[in-house]
Structure 1
Amino acid sequence: MPIPDAPAPITIDDLDADRPVPAGFRVLDVREDDEWAAGHVPGAVHIPMGELPARVEELPEEELIVVCRSGGRSARASAWLNSTGFDAYNLEGGLSAWQRAGLPLTTDGGREPTVL
C-alpha cells in the first residue's frame, strides 16, 4: 500500500501575525512537559510525541499544525498522524521560528514565556 502524500509543511510566512492559527486549524504541541511549561501557543493542545499513539483520541477534529522546538519531532509526528488519517501540517522551524516572528506565546503560570 503506498504511503499517502504528506501535506506541505506550513512556514511562518504562511501565518498571519494578527491571527496566526487559521480558522479550522488547531496547534498540537508535541514537546515534553518542561518545554510546554516554559511557553506554548495559546489554545494549543499538548500531547508529548511519545504519548501520541496512546492519546490519539484526545486530538481535536480540526486540521492540525504540529509544533515542537525546531521542527524535527513535529515532522515525525505529522507524518505518523497523516498515515493514520489525520490532516497534520508540520510547522517548519517550530516554536523557535514562531517566537522569532513575534507570534504570541503564553504560560499556564503567568511567567514570561520562552521556548526551550
Structure 2
Amino acid sequence: MSIPTVSLSGVPDPLPEGLAVLDVREQAEYDAGHVDGAVHVPLMDLPDRVGEVSQGQTLVVCRVGGRSAQATGWLAEQGYDVVNLDGGMLDWEAAGRPMVSETGQPPQVL
C-alpha cells in the first residue's frame, strides 16, 4: 500500500475549513510547537484513541514524516481520508507557517 503524501507546497496556507491536523509526535514535541488546532494523539496511542481522529480530510504530521507515514498508512487502512505531510513539522517551521506552543516559550520543533 502506498502512503498518500503531500509536500508542504501542496498544503494551502492558511489551512482550509474542514481540513483537520493530526499530530502524532510525543507530548514534549507537541508542547514545544504545533499547528494551532491540531489534534494530538501520539503514534503509540493511535489504535486506542482513533475515535479522536476527524472523519473528514486529515493531514497527519510528525517531526520529519516517518511516524506520520506509519499513522497515515494505518488510518487509510481503517477507511480514513488522510494524507502524510512529507518533511513534517521541520518543513512547516522552516516555511514560517504559524505554530503555537504550550510551554510559554516561542514555538519550536524538537
Letter in 1 for 2:9: D
CA contact (8 A) 1:30 1:66 kept: yes
CA contact (8 A) 2:32 2:103 kept: no
Task: Give 1:36's aligned residue.
Answer: 30
Say which of 96, 101, 104 aligns to 1:102.
Answer: 96
Letter in 1 for 2:93: Q
The answer on 1:70 being equivalent to 2:64 is yes
Say which of 37, 45, 48 aligns to 2:42.
Answer: 48
Which secondary structure state, in structure 1, belongs to the residue aligned with residue 44 of structure 2? Answer: helix
The answer on 1:24 being equivalent to 2:18 is yes
TM-score (norm 2): 0.93
Which secondary structure state, in structure 1, belongs to the residue aligned with residue 6 of structure 2? Answer: coil
- Aligned length in residues: 110
Letter in 2 for 1:13: S
Q: Describe the superposition over 1:77-110 as per-residue Cα deviations: whole angstroms up to 9, x where unpaired.
A: 0000000110110000000000001100101243
Which consecutive unaligned segments of at least 5 residues does structure 2 have?
none
Task: Give 1:10's aligned residue.
Answer: 6
How far off is 1:6 after superposition? 4.4
- Aligned sequence identity (%): 45
Which structure: larger Rg?
A: 1
TM-score (norm 1): 0.88
How far off is 1:10 after superposition? 1.4
Which consecutive unaligned segments of at least 5 residues does structure 1 have?
none
